[in-house]
Structure 1
Amino acid sequence: MKASRLRRVFSFWPPFLFAGIRVTQISDDFRYARVELRMRWYNRNYVGTHFGGSLFSMTDPFWMILMLRRLGPDYLVWDQAGEIQFLKPGKGTVVAEFRLDDAVVDEVRGAAAGGEKVLRWFEVDVRNAEGEVVARVRKQLYVRRKRDRPAGPA
């Protein structure tokens, strides 16, 4: 699936649609993604700031998708773990930008070349309109080269 189509699919994906999360950009080469969350009555918490679950959700699939698309079909990529640190009350529109460098992809590809699993942490900041960090999210990816499957009956 092309990046532009995937971005449109995310616009109607219920977990994003009903949380007010909007994917504004995914680069054609899957090196970059930008996601925003606008403050709405339905995604505020008790004290009037962004619901923490929405802040985490807006970052959830992107490291996995970017890495999977960059490595190609010979690799398994899964989210292994995740954590979020809330640093400042989130108000207004907040943004997360994901950048996956070639060097990191090459490092992971090399580490997984022999078929062993690779666990690697990735971090993204969620920023408000002033550029201040509202939350820091870490995701650990599990990456492994797919095992050769024996040929089945012809």
Structure 2
Amino acid sequence: MLPAYFWKRIPPRWQPALLRLGLNWFPAYRATGARLIEVSRDLKRIVVRLPLQRNTRNGAGTLFGGSLYSATDPIYTLLLYANLGPGYIVWDKSAAIRYRKPGREALTAEFLISEADIASVRADVARNGACDRTFTTCFRDAAGVVHTEVDKTVYVACKQHYKSRRPAQ
């Protein structure tokens, strides 16, 4: 994600395209083989496509589990940060992945946060200073069959709370 001082200078209508292009060309994300194919105007929905190709294939000829996981890694963090704003710290905390069926073709995953999710996070952070939130997404094939489920736990805190809990340096 771009630094807050830079991000807020970008016109809102450019932000989805910039996020999509920026992450697709960011070397660490590009190496996963996944690509953002859609980013909603309100930055509450992202669709990711992970093709079966030489660098995403495992020894059995199916999608590598590490590619499936790494394709999901930054997405919920970016969605929350974009919607909460610069007064919050957002970190990935943990993940769990359940393989339902081997991926023998390109798979897509839809990442979605609602206004209710954002309001709930803001309320919990206002009350406690920080909170954890778990989001679930699924990788599906073209027919809509679920191949993989991923649970991502994200840590969110207000900056003051986060700074007060860090050890002095």
TM over 0.5: same fold? yes
Which structure 2 residues correspond to residues 31-110 of structure 1 after superposition, within 5 A?
Answer: 31-110=44-123
**Distance in structure 1 (CA, Å) of the matches to 2:96 and 2:55:** 23
Partner of 2:126: 113
Q: Deviations over 1:60-79 (max 9, x none)?
A: 11111101111111111111
Q: Deviations over 1:76-135 (max 9, x none)?
A: 111111111111001111000011100111011001014521011110011111111110
Amino acid at match of 1:69: A
Q: What is the root-mean-square deviation of aligned Cα atoms in Å? A: 1.5
**Distance in structure 2 (CA, Å) of the matches to 1:32 and 1:115:** 27
Contact kept, 8 Å, 1:119 with 1:143, in 2: the verdict is yes
Contact kept, 8 Å, 1:70 with 1:105, in 2: the verdict is yes
Contact kept, 8 Å, 1:37 with 1:95, in 2: the verdict is yes
**Distance in structure 2 (CA, Å) of the matches to 1:23 and 1:8:** 8
For structure 2, the 5+ residue unaligned runs are 1-6, 8-14, 164-169
**Distance in structure 2 (CA, Å) of the matches to 1:102 and 1:11:** 26
For structure 1, the 5+ residue unaligned runs are 150-154
Identity of aligned residues (%): 35
Q: Per-residue deviation at 1:18? A: 2.9
Q: Flag the structure with higher helix content.
A: 2
If the length of structure 2 is used for normalisation, what is the TM-score? 0.83
Amino acid at match of 2:140: R
**Distance in structure 2 (CA, Å) of the matches to 1:10 and 1:145:** 25
If the length of structure 1 is used for normalisation, what is the TM-score? 0.91
